[in-house]
């Protein structure tokens, strides 16, 4: 009997030799005539000798095995199936996410379709054209991608870049140029959290759209907003926080150009939009490099300064960015930081906040009207926070 079956099988195989289409013919099943105990689930036909066996068992696995939301998911056939009759196997993919149809029918789920916390499995059906055999992968859970310096994200309607937690030397380092007279003491700073930092100085268009007025002296939508007090900038940050239902990082009274704002006690604990601390500003400006200006050892590559002979600030983002994809950290307009200006010592510090109290706040980055030396990453300056300058603007940050 086995011999007879084998003979029948060989006959059918020969009939299939023209290719898959021939084997798919219903006549394959109807030509068999006897009733076999070795009938297999998935065999079509009428309980006959079932010479057409389903594809052999096979294995599939998703790579990477520990994906993040930055990875495509790829369903790999680890051990291919084979068909006992030698018919070419075709595979069909069904992805399941969190127990529901994932809506993907190819071997790849693009990263853009996954979300942190999703649990994905890949089901694959091997077919010989008549019979099918299925394999299901192990489940993978989408993890949070590790911080990547310079990765961009739109927050509050503006472009931000990721600046990852780091430890770096701040102040008068080897690459920091001819150090200024204002306490650029070299010390090691640890910033313990990743942050999103505004890719550009806040523009006049962005500020006026939210605040309803433009305090700037040289008016142009694409220019950085300038000529505003620390508090006017803080009020703008609070407005963005309110729009995104985040913590307010400032306590403010009044409105418009006469608003008065004070920062919350611990800026690092605030979830809303705020100025960078001085250490955060320099860490972002350096972005792991030791260059005199933010992104270059040559000022004119990256910084609008007096070198260009301009009569006002420039459109943001026209020169080269630094390693974190940040533009105009050096030059164009100074930027308010959140710190009271204070003396820096050589002690290593973690998440520093500047002086406890003060009357002047630290500003950073130099501007279009001053020498390039003011735009050095280590250069420290300060201003009474109730004052405003046509060469002083803002850049915001949030966690
Ligand atoms: Ca088969
Ligand atoms: Ca700047």
Q: Rounded distance, CA 333 to CA 227, Å?
A: 10
**pLDDT at residue 182, rounded to an integer:** 84
- If you average pLDDT over residues 251-257, what whole number do you get? 96
- Distance (Å) from CA 391 to ligand 2 centroid: 9
Distance 108 CA to ligand 1 centre (A): 27
Residue 304 CA: which ligand is closest?
2
pLDDT at residue 29 tops 90: no
pLDDT tens, residue by residue, 297-344: 999 999 999 999 999 999 999 999 999 999 999 999 999 999 999 999
Residues 6+ apart with CB under 8 A from 165: 147, 190, 191, 192, 193, 194
- Tens digits of per-residue pLDDT, 72-125? 999 999 999 999 999 999 999 999 999 999 999 999 999 999 999 999 999 999
Q: Which two structure tokens, joined as six digits, stand for 171?
A: 């102040």
Tens digits of per-residue pLDDT, 143-195?
999 999 999 999 999 999 999 999 999 999 999 999 988 889 999 999 999 99
Q: Which residues pair with 251 in a beta bridge?
A: 262
Please name which ligand lies nearest the alpha carbon of 379: 2
* Residue 63 clears pLDDT 70, i.e. is over it: yes
Q: What is the CATH number of domain 152-398?
A: 3.90.1580.10
Span of 24-28, 64-68, 222-226, 380-384 with lowest mean pLDDT: 24-28
Compute the distance from residue 356 Cα to the ligand 2 centre, in Å: 25
- Mean pLDDT of all residues in 39-53: 57
Alpha carbon of 313 to ligand 2 centroid (Å):
10
Residue 72 φ/ψ region, left for φ over 0, alpha for ψ in the -120 to 50 degree band, beta for the rest: beta
Taking only the tens place, the pLDDT of each residue in 192-217 is 999 999 999 999 999 999 999 999 99
- Helix ranges (H only) for the chain are 2-16, 20-24, 27-31, 204-211, 230-243, 278-286, 299-302
What pLDDT does 50 receive?
A: 58
Q: Is the pLDDT of residue 43 over 90?
A: no
pLDDT digits 0-9 by tens, 265-287:
999 999 999 999 999 999 999 99
Mean pLDDT for all residues in the chain: 90
Identify which ligand lies nearest to the alpha carbon of 132.
1
Question: Is the preceding omega at residue 64 within 30 degrees of 0, hence cis?
Answer: yes
Give the pLDDT of residue 49. 56
**pTM tops 0.85, yes or no:** no
The architecture of the domain spanning 59-141 is Sandwich (2.60)
Question: At residue 259, does pLDDT exceed 50?
Answer: yes
Over 70: is that where the pLDDT of 22 sits?
no
Where do the domains of the chain lie? 2-38, 59-141, 152-398
What pLDDT, on the 0 to 100 scale, is given for residue 303?
98
- Residue 158 forms beta bridges with which residues? 155
Q: For residues 207 and 156, give the distance between their C-alpha atoms in angstroms, rounded to a whole number.
A: 12
User: CB neighbours (10 Å) of residue 161?
Assistant: 24
| Cα(19) to centroid(ligand 1), Å | 13
Please give the full DSSP string across 226-281, using - where no structure is assigned. -S--HHHHHHHHHHHHHHTT---SEEEES-GGG-EEEE-S-GGG--S-EEPPHHHH
Residue 226 has pLDDT above 50, yes or no: yes
For ligand 1, the distance from its centroid to the CA atom of residue 102, given in whole angstroms, is 29
Q: How far is the CA of 334 from the centre of ligand 1 (A)?
A: 74
Taking the C-alpha atoms of residue 174 and residue 165, their distance in angstroms, rounded to an integer, is: 22
Residue 344: predicted pLDDT: 94
Distance 86 CA to ligand 1 centre (A): 7
CA of 221 to the centre of ligand 1 (A): 69
> Exposed e or buried b for every residue in 197-222, given b needs 16+ CB within 10 A?
bbbbbbbbebbbebbeebbbebeeee
> Which tokens belong to 339?
């710190």
Closest-approaching ligand to the CA atom of 394:
2
- How many percent of the chain have pLDDT more than 70? 87
């Amino acid at each position: 009997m086995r011999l007879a079956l084998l003979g029948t099988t060989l006959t059918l195989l020969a009939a299939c030799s023209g290719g898959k289409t021939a084997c798919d013919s219903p006549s394959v099943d109807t030509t068999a005539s006897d009733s076999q105990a070795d009938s297999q689930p998935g065999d079509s036909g009428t309980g006959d000798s079932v010479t057409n066996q389903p594809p052999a068992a096979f294995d599939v696995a998703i790579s990477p095995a520990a994906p993040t939301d930055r990875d495509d998911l790829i369903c790999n056939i680890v051990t291919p199936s084979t068909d006992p009759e030698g018919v070419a196997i075709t595979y069909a993919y069904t992805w399941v996410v969190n127990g529901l149809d994932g809506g993907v029918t190819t071997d790849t789920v693009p990263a853009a379709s996954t979300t942190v916390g999703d649990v994905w499995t890949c089901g694959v059906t091997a077919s010989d054209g008549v019979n099918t055999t299925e394999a299901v992968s192990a489940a993978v859970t989408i993890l949070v991608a590790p911080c990547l310096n310079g990765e961009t994200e739109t927050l509050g309607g503006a472009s931000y870049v990721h600046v990852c937690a780091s430890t770096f030397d701040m102040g008068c380092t080897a690459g920091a140029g001819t150090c200024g007279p204002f306490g650029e003491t070299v010390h090691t700073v640890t910033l313990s959290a990743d942050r999103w930092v505004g890719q550009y100085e806040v523009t006049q268009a962005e500020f006026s759209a939210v605040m309803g007025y433009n305090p700037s002296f040289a008016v142009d939508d694409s220019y950085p907003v300038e000529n505003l007090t620390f508090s006017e900038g803080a009020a703008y940050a609070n407005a963005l926080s309110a729009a995104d239902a985040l913590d307010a990082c400032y306590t403010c009274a009044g409105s418009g150009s006469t608003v008065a704002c004070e920062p919350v006690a611990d800026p690092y604990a605030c979830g809303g939009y705020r100025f960078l601390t001085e250490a955060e500003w320099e860490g972002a400006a350096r972005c792991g490099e030791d260059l005199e200006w933010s992104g270059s050892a040559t000022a004119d590559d990256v910084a609008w300064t007096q070198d260009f002979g301009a009569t006002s600030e420039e459109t943001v983002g026209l020169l080269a960015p630094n390693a974190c994809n940040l533009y105009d950290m050096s030059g164009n307009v100074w930027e308010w930081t959140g710190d009271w200006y204070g003396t820096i010592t050589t002690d290593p510090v973690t998440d520093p906040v500047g002086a406890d109290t003060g009357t002047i706040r630290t500003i950073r980055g130099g501007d279009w009207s001053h020498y390039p030396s003011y735009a050095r990453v280590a250069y420290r300056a300060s201003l009474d926070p109730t004052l405003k300058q046509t060469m002083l603007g803002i850049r915001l940050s949030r966690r």
